[in-house]
Structure 1
Amino acid sequence: MINNKLYVVFGFFVCICLISCRQQSATDQGVETSIKINTQKIDKLPYFNTPDFAPSWESNTDELEGFHKIPGFNFKNQLGNEITNNTLKGSIYVANFFFTSCPNVCLKLTNNMHELQEIYADDDTIKLLSHTVMPSVDTIEVLKEYGEIHNIDPKKWYLVTGEKEKIYDLAREAYFADDLYKQTNDKNRFVHTENLMLVDKKGHIRGVYKGTQPDEINRINRHIEILKKE
């Protein structure tokens, strides 16, 4: 009688182990599938036309002409030079918004943007564009000093300042960079975003990335290489 009970208990534990192993196997397979999906190579990037960053795909030239583009702008960089759309014409560039006295988030953005500067140091078709959101403080002289401290190449990476209203309008309406503005519609709010935006040679937004995450730089790098082939 005791032996029968032992057999029953032993059989119960065997069943539990088998079920557990099957569940673990299924989990492992799921993780493996997820990894394959996340590392799947792509050969084309979407376009981003709206503040919710819903991807759009170009199917013909006429449709592409109606897609959102970064409008004309005119700012001054850290050398006092005029930076406009024409300055970046024919270039792929990564844009962001920052201010020089920011003690944490902006430093991460700057460090990660600097990595892109190093990767594309010898490629004149790739540019970087950082807009100050505190133009009353971040004058040309302040931006120049900031650039020197952080080893920023002014020929590749433009730190720009200008009229606050124009910078803020560009951030909100062109780059969709102010998430809270979409909720509050408060133009007096301070613009601060961690996003990096990838813009193609024609002025279309083709990628949005969390600029404080070092791993995102690898993704930007891959996406830039895709754009270079278009």
Structure 2
Amino acid sequence: MLAVSVAQASDSLPYYNSAEFTPHWLETNSTKLEDFHRIPSFSFMDQDGKEVSEKIFENKIYVAGFFFSTCPGICPSIRTKLNKVQQKFLNDADVKILQHSIRPNTDTVDTLKKYANENGIVTGKWHLATGDRETIYSLAKSAYFASEDLGNIQKTDDFLHTESLLLIDQNRHIRGIYNGLNSASVSYLIADIETLKAEMHNH
């Protein structure tokens, strides 16, 4: 399991472009980045019934992940960790959180709003996205490299791979992957957000 970004001791973070999450060390002004993998355009609805698209993440750093509101297993644990991220960057307009529901048919806007209210999820900071199931799954696999088993519950409480949290920079490049169940890993995530913020303001 990929638990942490590999750049903890560094003042820069790698770039990722495949499901293997092999790090690519590139300068932020490298011409290679022009054609490098990035999160494509998307459009969903959030818990406030507002469109959530790549436009609201323009020049923002965000943490991306997957969940569904009735998940009894790992979701509450991941949510606790994301709450720490939200709290740390609550007053920082550069940092957002985006969780995509993998059960969008039952996770309606109203359901997500109730979930947000019950769990201290702050409007405008932490977006819970719902929309067309096929679109979400396609984005999950092609953009965020979630496994083919995404949402395959079967006989367990967990859904596979979705404990992963991904760090996306202001240019929609993937810059880190973290185990959202692991406190140390989420501490690295917070540190790496700080690294990205410094990079963003230095260029």
Does residue 43 in structure 1 map to residue 11 in structure 2? yes
Q: 1:146 aligns with which of 110, 115, 133?
A: 115
Does the CA contact (< 8 Å) of 2:8 and 2:188 recur in 1?
no
Distance 2:77 2:112 in 1: 17
Cα distance change of structure 1 residues 166 and 122 upon mapping to structure 2, 3 Å threshold: same
Q: Percent identity?
A: 40
Shift of 1:41: 2.0
Deviation at 1:226, TM superposition (A): 0.7
**2:78 matched to 1:109?**
yes
Unaligned runs of 5+ residues in structure 1 are 1-37
Aligned CA RMSD, in angstroms, stands at: 1.9
Normalised TM-score (structure 2) = 0.87
Q: What code does the residue aligned with 2:24 have?
A: S
With over 3 angstroms needed to count, the CA separation of the structure-2 counterparts of 1:40 and 1:172, relative to structure 1, is closer
Residue in 1 aligned with 2:23? 55
In the alignment, which of 180, 183, 203 is matched to residue 214 of structure 1?
183
Unpaired runs of 5+ residues, structure 2, are 1-5, 154-158
Q: Which amino acid aligns with 1:50?
A: S
Give 1:61 shift.
Answer: 2.6
Listed as ranges, the matches of 1:177-196 within 5 Å are 177-178=146-147, 181=148, 192=160, 193-196=162-165
**Over alpha carbons, which structure has the higher Rg?**
1
- Name the amino acid aligned to 1:218: S
Output one character per residue of 1:110-147: Cα deviation in whole Å (capped at 9) or x when no partner. Answer: 11111100000110110000000000110000000000
User: Is 2:70 the counterpart of 1:122?
Assistant: no
> Aligned equivalents of 1:161 and 1:90: distance in 2?
23
Give the 3-state SS of the residue equivalent to 1:216 in structure 2: helix
Name the structure, 1 or 2, with higher relative contact order (CA <8 Å, separation 6+). Answer: 2
Q: TM-score, normalised by structure 1?
A: 0.77
* 1:1-230 matches, cutoff 5 A: 41-59=9-27, 61-178=30-147, 181=148, 192=160, 193-230=162-199
Alignment length (residue pairs): 187
Superposed CA offset, 1:150-194 (max 9, x none): 01001100001000000001111100122xx2xxxx899566411
| Secondary structure of 1:113's aligned partner | helix
- SS of 1:42 mapped into structure 2: coil
Name the amino acid aligned to 1:132.
S
Does the C-alpha gap of structure 1 residues 83 and 188 become closer, same or farther in structure 2, counting only changes over 3 Å? closer
Write out per-residue CA displacement over residues 31-60 of structure 1, whole angstroms, 9 at most, x where no aligned residue.
Answer: xxxxxxx99621110000011000011145
